[in-house]
Amino acid sequence: MKKLWSFAFVCAAAIYAQTAPSAPQKQLDTNKPVCSPGAICFSGEVFAGNEFRKDLNDELVFDLQAEFNFLRKPNSRSHPAGEWTIAVTPRHPNDNCPEFASVATPFYHSHNDLMIDTSYGWTAEDEVSDSPREFDFVTNCKDYDRESRKIEIVHWPNGMTQQEQKKAFAKLGSSLVGTGHLWIIDSRISHANDTPDNKLGNIEWMRFTVEIRLPH
């Protein structure tokens, strides 16, 4: 798992998330897809409104989940928005632990590498140029519950002391995790549904390559 920040930095990041400009610029990363020894590697493509799933083993699935929002243009058909969330999910659905990446991939309250969308003011061009996406994930419901509880204590203390918050923060990410990278290698963007107040664009299609390393 990526090295986590100091407790003070988390507080500063939370403040920054509330005051940051709405349309920051991302840096283009020119790294090319790789497949390191022992990794699970595959490629795929997805159109707006569609999802992509790939079994990783008997227990886990890589899931590029479509966000079912719709762009509406007067006097025309609705067009599905090109928005996705990177997830690793149980192969056998479980309402108590629906996915495993969100509890292991910071930041937890702002745009992070799991989100391929135009939230927080990112443009469609920004999103497809942000590669590789790096993410971590736990691999079972027990670790999901453990990490979820620590995140809850850190961000929603509800009567917890600062010492208890610091203790929970110190243990964030201590569960055994897998790691992943996703490279967006080709895409098609449209601005046909832009409005004067929203010119962020829409991802109509993208092709990607994924590398997954499971914990040992």
Confidence of residue 2 (pLDDT cuts 50, 70, 90): very low
**pTM for the complete prediction?**
0.77
Distance CA 204, CA 188 (A): 6
Tell me the β-bridge partners of 79: 71
In angstroms, rounded to a whole number, what is the distance separating the alpha carbons of residues 105 and 148?
A: 12
Residue 10 lies in a domain: no
**Of residues 168, 141, 142, the one with CA closest to residue 7:** 168
Domain containing residue 126: 40-139+176-213
Residue 77 lies in a domain: yes
Q: For residue 30, tell me if it sits in a domain.
A: no
Domain assignment of residue 149, yes or no: no
E runs forming strands in the chain: 40-47, 52-55, 60-66, 70-71, 79-80, 84-90, 115-116, 133-137, 178-190, 202-213
Eight-class DSSP state of 158? T
Q: Is residue 165 part of a domain?
A: no
> What are the C-alpha distances in Å from 24 to residues 40, 80, 108, 126, 188?
33, 25, 18, 9, 21
Please report whether residue 29 resides in a domain.
no
Domain count, the chain: 1
Residue 110 maps to a domain: yes
> How many residues belong to the chain?
216
Q: Is residue 66 part of a domain?
A: yes
Share of the chain above pLDDT 70, in %: 74
- Per-residue model confidence as pLDDT tens digits over 129-178: 988 999 999 999 999 998 888 877 776 667 777 777 776 666 666 677 89
